[in-house]
Every structure is written in C-alpha cells, then in structure tokens.
Structure 1
C-alpha cells in the first residue's frame, strides 16, 4: 500500500482550517496549505490565513512563501511540497493538506503540466486575434489540445498557443511527457455546508475583514505592486478598483461578497469532479471541534484513524 496523504478540501468558509488543525493534532503531524493566495506574504486579512495562535499550535507549510509581486505556478507548488511530504513520511507521519485551490490538489493527485514561462509580449500579440482565429490556429498546430478547449476561452487558447510556439512542440505531447502524479494514496475529504448557512457566513467574514483593516492592507500592497496572479485575488481586485475610483467603497464590499459566493460555487463544482472524494456535511457545526467529529467518523470508517 502506498503511503497516505489526507486532504481536507472544500469551499471558502466551510471550516477547513479548524478541521485540519484538529486532525493534525490527533495525528501529531503537520499541515500543508493548498491555497494559491495564502502563499503570498502580507496578503493576510483577505486570504484568511491561519491566526498566529493556530500556526503555533500546528506547523504549517506553504504560507507566506513568496512576495506579492511574484507569480507562483501549480508546478512550482508541486515541486515545493513534494520534499515536505517525503520528509513527513520518512518520519512516520501522515501529512494533512488543507485548502480550496483545486488545481493544487489535482497537481498532486494527477500530476501537472507546467509548461514554459509566460511570454507576455507573445500573449499580447495573440490577444489581438479573435477567439475564432485563435482556435483555428491552435487546431492547426495541436489538434488534440484544440479538441479539449472551449473555443470561447481566450485565456486558455492563448496559453496553449504560447506553449506550442515557444517550445516548438505540441502541448499534448509536452503534457504526456511531463505529467506524473505523486506515488501516494490520497484520502480526500470535502467539507460541505448548506448554501443557506454558507452564504451568510461568507458575508459576515467579509464584514469582519473590512473591520480588521483589509482596505489598509490592500492600499499598502498596491503601492508595492502585485503580480498578475495576486491581482486576481477576491477582496484585493475589488478594493484596488475602489482605490482607482471605479467603485464606491460600499459597492466594492458588495462585489467582494458576490464574487466570494460565486467562487464558493465554483469550488463545489470543481471538487465534485474529484475522483474518490468523500463529502462530509458539516452544516450546523458551530465549532471546529463539532465539524471535526463528523470528519473523524468518516476517516475512522475508512480505516484511516
């Protein structure tokens, strides 16, 4: 049997942080974050990083890894966490992963094709073409990849063309050559909360973030500069737009709430496609301990605990 990695996944506000800490305490292990925005230093309030108390209770990895002006790919994530997982296994411990970034989870369980570095000049040139022209060009260069693409998804079409042009190889060929999953047994648990409970929790969290100084955090980060990835973070992009005069503050806050609700829905959709994932309904669990008891039962029934 392969060595195990336990994954606690699900949408924002589902309670992943609290549950993963309870689990890591019981197992005497460490937590690896699977959140693509918590890797950025100083993006603290808007990404809802674990508190200093929580970080002191259980060692965490993949939090505060890079500067906000840097990009960080799923391939880099995979390369960084692989030795952490190996060390924990060598010590006889089962790593606990927690987060809502589906691409990070898939990078570990299925492997990922990282591809050449971004070529922003080429991207800008390609973006001048229509979606139809981009799709036709991709179909000529790499028919297999073209068949997998949404003809209206310009971002993905541009990336596929960028890879083909800069590498001189088909993206499908490169993906086949480089995509290898990690050799572990992944125990995947998804936390589910009913929408009627989750959405008010999201709105309350956004209000709390604003009270804790999210606007000031964003103002300081905007002066320093953010990477293209960090600029897409919910809570940051809306408040940056407010600072540019595009929205009133109240409008920006409502946009954050709306976009977070939509993001949670997309997270559910993504993880429902994740093979072998066991869903645990934590609706009504007012504390991390209550939610963990439900998760614990599922893990115990599966022979993990």
Structure 2
C-alpha cells in the first residue's frame, strides 16, 4: 500500500492507523528522513510511533554520505521482498518524495552512477543556461523531460553522460514490480498553510534551533543537508542574518511552495485515490475504499474490530 500527499497533510498519521490494524510495517519515502541526526526539521516519526509500528528506511545514512535514488530503491525492494516472504505483514510505502515512490511503484530503471562532486562543481560554475545547452547537444531526448530551470536534473543528466558515455535517456525506463499496489492520497485544500504554520511552530518548540546549531557545530555550515528546507532558514537566523520570526515566516512560505510542487507531482498519478485530511469520517471512508480494492477485510464485525470500534451490546429483547 502507498500513502502519499503534500507535506503536513497527515499521511503519516493515517498510515500509522492503517498499519496498526492491518499488521503493517512502514517504509519511509522521504529523501531527508533517511539521514541520521536530521530529526525535528524532517518531521521524523516519533519513538512512540515507531514503537507502535515498525518503521524502515529511516536513519539509514550518515549526514556526510550520499544516498542515491538507486541506493534507496535497492534497499526498499529488498525489504519488500523480505516482508512478502514473512508472516503476512503488509508493507506501507509512506512519504512525499515522489521520485522515491516512483522508484518502487514503477520500478524505475536508474543509472547506477555515483555523484561526481568535482564534475558537478565544474559544471555548476558554468551556470544553468550553459549546462542546459550542453545537455541539448548530448541528450536532446532528456531535455524533453527536464525543464530549462531544473539545475539538479540537468547536472545529473550531464553527470551520467560524462561518467558512462551514454545519454541518461538511453539508460532509463520502467520495470514495474509483479505485486499489486493500492494508492491512497491525502490533501487538505486551503487548510494546508495553517497546518504547515502550526507544524513549523511545533518544530521550534521541540528544539529545532538547537538541532540545527548542534549539526552546524558537528559538521560545519557547508553540509549540503543544512541548505535544505527549514535548516537553511534556521541557519540564517543562527548566523544573525535574520530574526527567528523571519526564519519561521520564510520556512512556512518555502514549505508551502514545496507542498504545491508535491501536489503537482502526485496529481499526475491517476491511480491515486484522494481523500480529504479534514474529513471527520476519513478513516471510515478510507477503510471502505480498501475493502473494495483489497477484498479481504471480512465481515462488518471484523471491520469494526480492525477499526477499533467496540462491539455493540446484545439486544436483550432480540
């Protein structure tokens, strides 16, 4: 089962409820939660949540190392195979990193080329317009899928080309897995900004500033992960460039922009069945959908047991 949606939409909470009732385990699909020590700012599942349901693909990489999509895919596929061979557990792929989700759900064929830091630095000094022009020359097919302003994917495509001598477009494709999948999507419309703002303040209250300061002291401010969402803004505050209130405001704004991009990504996937996070009957509606899709949830009594609904008292007159 796959549970996706924009950040702060409540997908982790829903997945936790479903996994508890379906003997499930949760596989994270978040490109930052895979890194150790980056906890508060990535909204990692709490220890209490991890005690309720086993979580995997979290804290599997040192902050100074690089986990490629191919690395993630290999580890996730191995785990899913192990789970399927086990004692009837259901794997839940949960997260907002669309590329991670597609790597598993669609079986993306990914060139196994490690990051070439020196090459990236050299290309980066040329600027995105020049790099994109190079890509148009060596791999015009790739530019049909990569936006001219997408520096990350442009550099990756050039990196693969120069490392292998072959265009990345010739090395990509899909090899979907042979097991069935059910997609659940969560969204909450205009309420998302309020959710993001509330969660940002909760992160600050939980010690996010101290976390960033500790990471800077340990790894230095140039660590690439410290330039990601939330961490970059708090780093600016710690450097004295902006106030804490400004850092919070910028984090909310940038997170909202990120959530918009996530929405755009996931809305392209027609297999996703969308639900409203704010619906008071959310769990019941999701359960009803799963009953139709999976067809194994059993009788109404069994459904209620799994949902945690207490059995009704016997009718003394019946």
Match for residue 164 of structure 1? 161
Deviation of 1:261 after TM superposition, in Å, equals: 1.3
Q: Does 1:218 align with 2:209?
A: no
Unaligned 5+ segments in structure 2 are 298-318
* C-alpha contact 1:192 1:279 (8 A) present in aligned 2: yes
Cα distance, 1:134–1:279 mapped onto 2, change above 3 Å: same
Q: CA RMSD in A?
A: 2.0
* C-alpha contact 1:34 1:97 (8 A) present in aligned 2: yes
Deviation of 1:244 after TM superposition, in Å, equals: 2.2
Match for residue 52 of structure 1? 47
Residues matched between the structures, number: 293
1:88-237 mapped onto 2 (5 Å cutoff): 88-91=83-86, 92-112=88-108, 113-176=110-173, 179-195=174-190, 197-225=191-219, 230-237=225-232
Cα distance, 1:183–1:52 mapped onto 2, change above 3 Å: same
Q: Which piece of structure 1 moves more, 137-146 or 197-206?
A: 137-146
Match for residue 268 of structure 1? 263
Match for residue 305 of structure 2? none
1:46-69 Cα distance to aligned partner (Å, 9 max, x none): 111222221111111111111222
Q: Which piece of structure 1 moves more, 261-270 or 223-232?
A: 223-232
* C-alpha contact 2:76 2:104 (8 A) present in aligned 1: no
Cα distance, 1:87–1:191 mapped onto 2, change above 3 Å: same
1:78-137 Cα distance to aligned partner (Å, 9 max, x none): 111112111111123321121111111111122332441111221222223344433332
Instruction: Give distance in 2, aligned partners of 1:49 and 1:267.
Output: 18
Instruction: Give distance in 2, aligned partners of 1:138 and 1:102.
Output: 24
Instruction: Give distance in 1, aligned partners of 2:128 and 2:82.
Output: 46
Question: Is the partner of 1:30 in helix, strand or coil?
Answer: strand
Instruction: Give distance in 2, aligned partners of 1:58 and 1:233.
Output: 28
Match for residue 283 of structure 2? 292
TM-score by length of 2: 0.85
Cα distance, 1:131–1:235 mapped onto 2, change above 3 Å: closer
* C-alpha contact 1:194 1:283 (8 A) present in aligned 2: no
* C-alpha contact 2:111 2:171 (8 A) present in aligned 1: no
TM-score by length of 1: 0.89
Instruction: Give distance in 2, aligned partners of 1:58 and 1:71.
Output: 27
Q: Which piece of structure 1 moves more, 91-100 or 128-137?
A: 128-137
Question: Is the partner of 1:185 in helix, strand or coil?
Answer: coil
1:226-265 mapped onto 2 (5 Å cutoff): 230-265=225-260
